[in-house]
Structure 1
Amino acid sequence: MATSDTSPTSRALLALAELQASPGTTAAGLAAALGVSERAARRYVAILRESGVPVTSVRGPYGGYRVGRGVRLPPLVFGPDEALGLVMAVLDGHHDVRDRADPVGSALDKLLRALPERVAAQAAVVRRSTATAPDRAAARPDPVVTTALVQACADHRPVRVRYRAESGHEWDADVDAWSVVVRHGRWYLVCRRHDGDAVRTYRVDRVLTVLTLPGTAAPAPDVDPVVLLEEHLAQGWEHDVDVLIEAAYEDVARRLPTALGRLEPVGPATTRLVATTSNPVWYAQQLAVVPVPFRVVGGPEMRACVRDVGARLVAAVDDV
């Protein structure tokens, strides 16, 4: 935790963060963590006490400094990973708060230590005794990658992302980062690719690395980021989809999720669905629930997968 900032206030706050993270640390341990002398470490503890932070000390081989409990709660000092972890936990609800190695678990430790004893005891019981049923469809992105992408969006900066598709294929893409959107437990980057000037959506949990590039990102269109995400979820992937649906455009638009692709009216009773997908098997399963007749006219992988899904459905009732 050593820092080049020599301000007594900033050092005192760093000392507070260390005491919150390691209750019972000694003056020597605190000095080592801050990269200062023991005398300086004691001075920072004194600054905290003068500011009203209840830092207690216990002598002896098992003694050390602790942030005590009181009517006035001490300020909490969160690291960047913990702060982002708490935000992500609120947004997706899929973090294991009982895991103290997780940034969310670490931040929750600090919150519990700051609460009055009776309230903290009740919260700790809930933490120990509750269990979450994880959403298997959700995927937790790397907080470091997520931070870099969110920062690039906020700063209007272009980035180079290393991406791994569902098939395992990896590639680099230079993009203008526009927004990060959470949809149904999954995190997406909405951006514009530099090659081809096309809007793309990338799963943040599949982004391996982020490199901020010089310059300024092209401005995002004046559209709700969620709407922009859903309009482009089915674009830019490996396998083509071209389907003719025997229903009027208005009926299909009302029944079909916008994330499946772009709809085009062909006639008064026919609508074309155009898209791409990285998982034609999954896409074929989505088409199986379309409640009107349709015909797959494009995409060899898509046609093969629809044929396979249809054969399995027919085989399920052949012997009845």
Structure 2
Amino acid sequence: MDEASPTAKALLALELIQDNPGISGDRLGLRLGVSDRAARRYVGTLRDAGIPIESTPGRYGGYRVGRGFRLPPLMFSTAEALGLMMAALEGQHSASDTNDPAGRAIGKILRVLPTSVAAPAEAIRKLIPAPPDTGTNPDPEITAVLVQSCVDHHRVRLGYQLGDRETRTMYVDPWAVAVRHGRWYLLGWSHTKDARRVLRVDRVVAVDPQPETFVPPDDLDPIRTIEEHLAEGWKYPVEIVIDAPIATVGQWIARNLGRLEAIDEHHTRLIGSTEEPEWYARRITSIDAPFHIIGPEELAKAVRTLGERLTQSSAPQLSAGPS
């Protein structure tokens, strides 16, 4: 920290105050690697630049940035810039494409960063191949309208693409937008179907907020609801009865395996579906209680095969030498 210029230290002081409202002068100096007196000088430098740094005197006093202040320049460490680039490339194949909104935004960020910080991030952008385009990236403007409608609790009229050519008009109360497994989903109540629905945001081709408002469910858990939905509708419907209470079973079962129903105080039903019984069989080995597969037979067979393989693997090996 000693080699940093006074300007750099003043900007770092601002970042520390923004991230830690009420930080004391002693702690600020410690984080900057300077005395508390020097820390006060950097605070004075920020005030001279027109930045409203407020201070509260006394034993428990400290510094904070005045309300309404926003710092235009971006300040990232090298690690933060690299982490941002890696996350963007992982989630957005287009982050390396300067003609795409995500790519243009990344470019703007890199241009305002110091060369020492921007250069490694730009190298990753150019040299690391991005994941293949799955065609599931939603339109940013549509996504923004959906998110704002969730916040404002306004019903929306959607143009929702069902196939290559068919588009359906839907009226939906948008409860939440969430990202799961690299895809964006809209959770809400469809007035068109009079039912709860999970819709893919990348299939929304038009959105128009309506004057009608709504109240979302009090006990809404968007992630749990979406994952339970994603566990349904596959080729093989699954039903398993587990000899344990639902609260205990919930600690063993991943949400994407299905939804849990309490049969009684001591038994729980797991309802789900799968395309791959072998994969599902491996996942339910986490159940630490007796369970009974009601269906499908393909899953029961996969569990038997897995059990036989594990039994064979645990059997003692006979010596190949002479008796």
TM-score bin (small chain): 0.5 to 0.7
Q: Aligned to 1:289, what secondary structure does the other structure show?
A: helix
* Pairwise CA distance, 1:220: 1.0
Partner of 1:306: 299
Partner of 1:212: 208
CA distance in 1, matches of 2:88, 2:96: 18
Candidates 179, 189, 194, aligned match of 2:191: 194
Q: Is the CA contact (8 Å cut-off) linking 2:85 and 2:121 kept in structure 1?
A: no
Partner of 2:217: 221
Partner of 1:104: 102
* Pairwise CA distance, 1:271: 1.0
Q: Is the CA contact (8 Å cut-off) linking 1:92 and 1:185 kept in structure 2?
A: no
CA distance in 2, matches of 1:135, 1:248: 43
- Matched residue type, 1:285: W
Q: Is the CA contact (8 Å cut-off) linking 1:158 and 1:212 kept in structure 2?
A: yes
Range 102-111 or range 145-154, more displaced: 145-154
CA distance in 2, matches of 1:128, 1:91: 13
CA distance in 2, matches of 1:88, 1:169: 36
* Pairwise CA distance, 1:245: 1.9
Q: Is the CA contact (8 Å cut-off) linking 2:96 and 2:125 kept in structure 1?
A: yes
CA distance in 1, matches of 2:205, 2:86: 22
Q: Is the CA contact (8 Å cut-off) linking 2:155 and 2:171 kept in structure 1?
A: no
Cα deviation digits, residues 298-317 of structure 1 (max 9, x gap): 6xxxx254256447647978
Q: Is the CA contact (8 Å cut-off) linking 1:158 and 1:217 kept in structure 2?
A: no
Instruction: Report the CA distance shift for 1:310/1:254 in structure 2 as closer, same or farther (over 3 A).
Output: closer
CA distance in 1, matches of 2:115, 2:311: 66
Instruction: Report the CA distance shift for 1:269/1:120 in structure 2 as closer, same or farther (over 3 A).
Output: closer
Q: Is the CA contact (8 Å cut-off) linking 2:89 and 2:96 kept in structure 1?
A: no
* Pairwise CA distance, 1:254: 1.3
Partner of 1:285: 279
- Matched residue type, 2:155: R
CA distance in 2, matches of 1:262, 1:230: 9
Instruction: Report the CA distance shift for 1:154/1:284 in structure 2 as closer, same or farther (over 3 A).
Output: farther
* Pairwise CA distance, 1:230: 0.7
Q: Is the CA contact (8 Å cut-off) linking 2:89 and 2:131 kept in structure 1?
A: no
Instruction: Confirm whether residue 234 of structure 1 aligns to residue 228 of structure 2.
Output: yes
Q: Is the CA contact (8 Å cut-off) linking 2:85 and 2:125 kept in structure 1?
A: no
* Pairwise CA distance, 1:289: 2.5
In the TM superposition, 1:86-125 aligns within 5 A as 93-96=90-93, 97-115=95-113, 120-121=118-119, 123-125=121-123
CA distance in 2, matches of 1:283, 1:250: 25
Partner of 1:128: 126
* Pairwise CA distance, 1:92: 8.6
Q: Is the CA contact (8 Å cut-off) linking 1:177 and 1:217 kept in structure 2?
A: no
Partner of 1:8: none
CA distance in 1, matches of 2:243, 2:166: 36
* Pairwise CA distance, 1:180: 0.8
Give the unaligned 5+ runs of structure 2: 1-70, 75-83, 314-323
Instruction: Confirm whether residue 179 of structure 1 aligns to residue 172 of structure 2.
Output: no
Instruction: Report the CA distance shift for 1:115/1:253 in structure 2 as closer, same or farther (over 3 A).
Output: closer
Cα deviation digits, residues 81-134 of structure 1 (max 9, x gap): xxxxxx9996894224332233222122223334455654454344334x2674
Partner of 1:256: 253
| Count of residues paired in the alignment | 225
Cα deviation digits, residues 175-207 of structure 1 (max 9, x gap): 2112111234332211112156433323334x2
Q: Percent identity?
A: 31
Q: Is the CA contact (8 Å cut-off) linking 1:92 and 1:182 kept in structure 2?
A: no
CA distance in 1, matches of 2:115, 2:189: 51
- Matched residue type, 1:200: R
Q: Aligned to 1:179, what secondary structure does the other structure show?
A: strand
Candidates 297, 305, 313, aligned match of 2:294: 297
* Cα RMSD after superposing both structures: 4.6
Q: Is the CA contact (8 Å cut-off) linking 2:96 and 2:130 kept in structure 1?
A: no
Cα deviation digits, residues 217-274 of structure 1 (max 9, x gap): 42212345xx233135334954654332233323211111234333222245421123
Q: Is the CA contact (8 Å cut-off) linking 2:281 and 2:302 kept in structure 1?
A: no
